[in-house]
Structure 1
Amino acid sequence: MNLEWLAQGVGIIAFIIGITTFINRDERRFKKQLSCYSAVIACHFVLMGAWPAGMSAGLNALRTLITLRTRSLWVMAAFIALTLTLGLAKLQHPMELLPIVGTTVSTWALFRWHGLGMRCIIWCSTVCWVAHNFWLGSIGGTLIEASFLVMNGLNIIRFRRMQRRGIDPFRVERAVIEQASARADGGRAG
């Protein structure tokens, strides 16, 4: 088996892992599954020789897990700086800018947004990844990101319709964020 087939096989595994990511309303499960997908797709890109995309996806995996613990602006800035530094260092073609832009945008979204807003921003980031993966010839990468585009888009519409009917699809997520803020404020006051 040659490296191309191995790389495409790893991409298909990433597709299988990632296909259900965006149906999660629970932010913790969403982020854990997204992180797992990102780690596997990073391996795929490295095997394909797409270093900027591999580094961006690898940073995505780590960054997504870290956002479960903190939404610190300093940590966000560090990940954006790492994405730009590592991604731009290996840049060989203008299309390789797309995963760097996508990762930067999604980093901002995961650290500063939640709920529907976060999903909308990540949808825009996904457009960058779809275009890059198609250009690269990544079968699994193109399939999964195109699936993310459709699934996340449909879930954005579904969640928005729920909100219009007075249903909060992110009620649990919002409660967790409020509890974390209250603990942080209590820690600062004491």
Structure 2
Amino acid sequence: MNLFLLSQLLACGAFMLDVLAFQFSRRVVSLTFLACSTSLLAFHFWLLDETSASGMMILAACRYLTATITTRSTLKWSFLGASVLCSLMTWQHPADALPLAGSLMMTLAAFQPDAGRLRILTLGGSLFWLSNNLLAGSPVAVVMEATFMMSTLISYRRLKQAKGMG
């Protein structure tokens, strides 16, 4: 099996976890699914020689696991700083700004105690990752991110309806 095919299979696994992630109302469960998904994506991007994106996904997995335990602001700022540092250390080309922007938005999202804000900020970060996946030439990751965005929108709507706001 060649490395590109393996990368696409890993992205498929992440895809399934992403679709499930926000179908749970408890943020801890959603964040746990996202930690598993981003772990697979770290390896996916590494196989595609997208070092910056891979590093951001490793940080994302750690961030999501941490956010299942706490939403402390000091940890949020630590992960924001780690994202910038990771980006500086792995920078290869201007497109590496996309994983950085996506990671920063997703970090802000992960440390939101409110499930609705978590989903809205996640959508913003997903736009940057969708752009990155297009430029990285990963068809499965593009479909995954677009579907993840739709799943997040659906779950946000369901969350609003459950709270009697929609």
Normalising to structure 1: TM-score of the pair? 0.81
Any idea what the Cα deviations from partners look like across 1:42-61, whole Å, max 9, x if unmatched? Answer: 11001111111111111110
Partner of 2:83: 83
Alignment-mate amino acid for residue 12 of structure 1: C
Show CA shifts across 1:1-34 (max 9, x none). Answer: 2222222222122212322111111111111111
Q: 1:62 aligns to what? A: 62
1:34 corresponding residue in structure 2: 34
Paired with 2:23 and 2:111, the residues of 1 have a C-alpha distance of: 20
1:139 equivalent in structure 2: 139
Counterpart Cα distance in 1 of 2:30 and 2:87:
25
Quote how far apart the aligned CAs of 1:118 are.
1.3
- 3-state SS of the aligned residue for 1:39? helix
Q: Could you tell which deviates more after superposition, 44-53 or 100-109?
A: 100-109
Paired amino acid for 1:104:
L
Distance 2:70 2:155 in 1: 25
Provide the residue aligned with 1:98 in structure 2: 98
Mark the CA change 1:84 to 1:166 in structure 2 (over 3 Å): closer, same or farther. Answer: closer
CA contact (8 A) 2:22 2:151 kept: yes
- How far the C-alpha of 1:36 sits from its partner, in A, is 0.4
Q: How many residues align?
A: 166
Which runs of 5 or more structure 2 residues have no equivalent in the other structure?
none
User: Does the 8 Å contact 1:11/1:139 carry over to 2?
Assistant: no
Q: CA deviation at 1:92?
A: 2.0
Q: Find the aligned partners of 2:153 and 2:118 in 1 and give their Cα distance.
A: 12
Corresponding residue SS for 1:131 = helix
Displacement of 1:166 after TM fit?
Answer: 5.6
Aligned to 2:11: 11
TM-score scaled to structure 2, two decimals?
0.92
Matched position secondary structure for 1:52: helix
Whole-Å Cα distance in 2 between the matches of residues 88 and 114 of structure 1? Answer: 31
Q: Structure 1 counterpart of 2:108, which letter? A: W
Deviation track 1:139-168 (CA, whole Å, cap 9, x = no partner) reads 2221211111111112222322343x369x
- Following the alignment from structure 1 to structure 2, what is the Cα–Cα distance between the partners of residues 16 and 158? 20
Q: SS in structure 1 opposite 2:22?
A: helix
Provide the C-alpha distance between the structure 2 equivalents of 1:52 and 1:74, rounded to a whole number of angstroms: 24
- 1:7 to 1:166, Cα distance in 2 relative to 1, 3 A: closer
**Structure 1 ranges of 4+ moved more than 4 A:** none
In structure 1, the gaps of 5 or more residues are 168-190
Residues 141-156 of structure 1: pairs in structure 2 closer than 5 A: 141-156=141-156
State the match for 2:50 in structure 1: 50
Shift of 1:63: 0.7
2:158 is matched with 158
Q: How much identity, in percent, do the aligned residues show?
A: 24
